[in-house]
Structure 1
Amino acid sequence: MNFIDTHCHLLLKQFDDDRQEMLKKANEELDLLIEIGINVESSKSVVDFVKDEEKIFGAVGIHPTESQDLKETDLDKIKELAGKPKIVAIGEIGLDFYWETNKQDQYKSLDAQLDIAEEMGLPVVFHIRDAYEEAYNFLQKKGLPARKGVVHCFSSDWEMAEKFLDLGLYLGFDGPITYPKNNKLREVVEKTPVERILPETDSPFLPPVPYRGKRNNPTYVKYVYEKISEIKGIDVETLKEITKSNAEKFFFNKG
């Protein structure tokens, strides 16, 4: 059994020079990849991209930092794209207060796209940065779609992780769990039930040790697996089976 990468961005410009080569390598080494949209245009590209790729499925959505001046037509388009073949989630959506953007626009975008996920019967890929408490409070009040969601690239502490797990969410872990100073995040991995973990790369971002400072790619997910395996005391082959089952339940509603 091969690895899976449940969150990547192969369509970004960082792969323009060698995308086909990277795709070939990813197809050889992985069983499943999820390509994630960040706005209407990129979500259209995701739909076109995944239809011809056997192992790659897609998510469509509007990233919180792309939520300024959101039009009703943008949301209508996301809903339309969500019904296309091989689209398995709404995302990435959420709250990001790291950047200076209009918070009300972000809340409005998140709220509307949660409704789309519920209507389309899809799970959600959440992007949360410097807004964990705010996102938790919002989701607790709003409620989640029936198919729940994953907090992509989780980066807060165990106290916060437990709250999101109690909502029924999965947690996505990436390269940062391999960084030497990230003991707090490794504690989260240790305490999170393995049945609620989804391995990711967020390529081309967040490369794991030993590739920090370089472009990340989906095949580097093996370093994420190795670190989770080490932390949890589970051999890599068993971890592959568990996380593949997790992904099938989450994205494809199987099991």
Structure 2
Amino acid sequence: MIIDSHCHLDYEPLINDINKVLLNAKNNNISHLLTIGTGLDSSKKVFDIVEKYENIYGSIGIHPNSTTNHLADLNELLSIKKKSKKIIAFGETGLDYFYKRSEKKDQLYSFEKHIELAISEKVPVIIHTRDADEDTLSIIKKYHLKSKFLIHCFTGGLEFAKKLLELGCLISFSGIITFKKSSDLRNVVKYVPIEKMLIETDSPYLSPDPFRGKSNEPANVKIVAETVASIKQITFEEVASSTTKNFKNFFLNG
């Protein structure tokens, strides 16, 4: 069995045919999914989804690219979390200096606010980081003894990964590791201990080869697992077993 640790089931086209998406995941031995909120409306949809489907967990948050216009929504996240034990994390939050869609100061404030909410509720934080290595590390260092952090869809360099691991972070890899141009990222996969790793699709985005250009779905996390196995020269079963164990220990306390 495998777990997709990061997908967006409230996004089109997945939400339009969610029962088929979940059946396809089941047929590919995907046991559980973690669907991620990226705004207040998105997080409300995540709540509805996890309450309806037994094998789906949720995380709620405001994406860093949306913080400037939605800081007031942060306080409402806590009320959503308190309604369901199946909301098991806050995020995705973090820092994105690539697109510059939100002010840096707003992203930094939102990131820390998510962490403080997570600490109060004793759940982990799911981090999106792009072109913001130093600021991301600085904030994690500030809180790493009080909270747990997962870096989702890792695309950074080896030195960044090493520093994150030193701070106790888990690192999650997506279908990007299958892309021909991703040789440096595959070296990071080779370095990161399997005990510190999760796998994800980030669907409906980032379809792995050979499905690039098509809508992604949770079933394709199997391809990510196969690719990790090939890179690390271990069995598919080892990847599936280890990442499932890691997920349960990290989010569900074993």
> Normalised by the shorter chain, which TM-score bucket?
over 0.9
> 1:40·1:78 contact (CA, 8 Å) conserved in 2?
yes
Specify the code of the residue in structure 2 equivalent to 1:139.
I
Which is worse superposed, 105-114 or 131-140? 131-140
Q: Which residue of 2 aligns with 1:168?
A: 168
Unaligned ranges ≥5, structure 2: none
Q: State whether residues 205 and 216 of structure 1, in contact with CA within 8 Å, keep that contact through their aligned partners in structure 2.
A: yes
Deviation at 1:71, TM superposition (A): 4.0
Distance 1:120 1:16 in 2: 28
Q: Secondary structure at the match of 1:13?
A: coil
CA–CA distance in structure 2, aligned partners of residues 244 and 46 of structure 1: 21
Partner secondary structure for residue 243 of structure 1: helix
Q: Which moved more, 1:192-201 or 1:128-137?
A: 128-137
Q: Counterpart of 1:136?
A: 137
Instruction: Please name the residue that 1:10 is paired with.
Output: 9
Q: What RMSD, in angstroms, separates the aligned Cα atoms of the two structures?
A: 1.3
SS across alignment from 1:226 = helix
Matched to 2:76, the amino acid is: K
Name the aligned partner's letter for residue 114 of structure 1: I
1:65 is the counterpart of 2:65: yes
Residue 109 of structure 1: aligned partner: 110
Q: Is the 8 A contact 1:27 1:55 kept in 2?
A: no
Q: Does 1:189 align with 2:189?
A: yes
Deviation of 1:207 (Å): 0.7
Aligned position for 1:122: 123
Normalising by structure 1, report the TM-score.
0.94
- CA–CA separation in structure 1 for the residues paired with 2:190 and 2:31: 25
* Partner residue in 2 for 1:76: 75
Does the 8 Å CA contact 2:115/2:147 hold for their aligned counterparts?
Answer: no
Cα offsets for 1:68-87 (capped at 9, x unmatched): 14444x22211121222301
Residue 52 of structure 1 is matched in structure 2 by 52
Equivalent residue letter for 1:44: K
User: SS of the counterpart of 1:68?
Assistant: coil
Q: Deviations over 1:116-142 (max 9, x none)?
A: 0000000011011121222112322x2
- Distance (Å, rounded) in 1 between the aligned partners of 2:98 and 2:209: 24
Which residues of structure 1 form unaligned runs of 5+?
Answer: none
State the shift of 1:147 in Å.
4.1
Say yes or no: does 1:28 pair with 2:48: no
Q: Matches of 1:145 and 1:10 in 2, distance apart?
A: 32
CA distance in 2, matches of 1:207, 1:179: 10
1:206-221 equivalences in 2 (<5 Å): 206-221=206-221
Quote the residue 2:151 is aligned against.
151
8 A contact 1:121–1:146 mirrored in 2 = no
Would you say 1:42 and 2:42 are equivalent positions? Answer: yes
Size of the aligned set, in residue pairs, is 251
Q: Which deviates more, 89-98 or 79-88?
A: 79-88
CA distance in 2, matches of 1:23, 1:204: 13
The whole-number CA distance in structure 1 between the counterparts of 2:15 and 2:37 is 16
1:43 Cα offset (Å): 0.6
Return the offset for 1:145: 6.3
Q: Is the 8 A contact 1:147 1:250 kept in 2?
A: no
Aligned-pair identity (%): 38
Contact 2:71/2:110 (CA < 8 Å) preserved in 1? no
